[in-house]
Amino acid sequence: QVQLVESGGGLVQAGDSLKLSCTINGRNFRGHKVAWFRQAPGQVRVFTAAISWNDRRTYYADSVKGRFTISRDNAENTVSLQMNSLKPEDTAVYYCATGARIILSSLRNEAAYDYWGQGTQVTVSS
């Protein structure tokens, strides 16, 4: 079993930065891909960013490319999402997720992920 716990959300102003962290506990998650998804009010949950644990290859949604950076800390078993130049449209609940069956073609599909955190709220005021 794998448990994920997000932290770092909050209320910020447009243009500010915020760093989210996802602490992962459990065995055998290394080697998996870990992703961040987000769900804005009244909308479906969408892919935001992902990282391959082994080779640190990263993937981003077009809407956050150049502003968000995903990284992982092997020693701390954490995956972070550094969010810069935040916009009001970045307001959402942010979730981290992982799974053993994720391949490139399913990376952006939430159904491919087996384990999810509880989410952390990010609110960006204009």
How many angstroms separate the CA atoms of 72 and 46, rounded? 21
Nearest to 95 by CA among 57, 48, 56: 48
Supply the pLDDT for residue 76.
Answer: 80
How many angstroms separate the CA atoms of 35 and 117, rounded? 11
Read off the pLDDT of residues 32-77 as tens digits, 9 standing for 90 and up: 899 999 999 999 999 999 998 888 899 999 999 999 999 998 778 8
**CA angle at 17 for the pair 14 and 18, rounded to the nearest 5°:** 115
Supply the pLDDT for residue 74.
Answer: 78
Three-class SS state of 110 = helix
Residue 17 has pLDDT above 90, yes or no: yes
Supply the pLDDT for residue 28.
Answer: 67
Residue 100 has pLDDT above 90, yes or no: no
Three-class SS state of 1 = coil
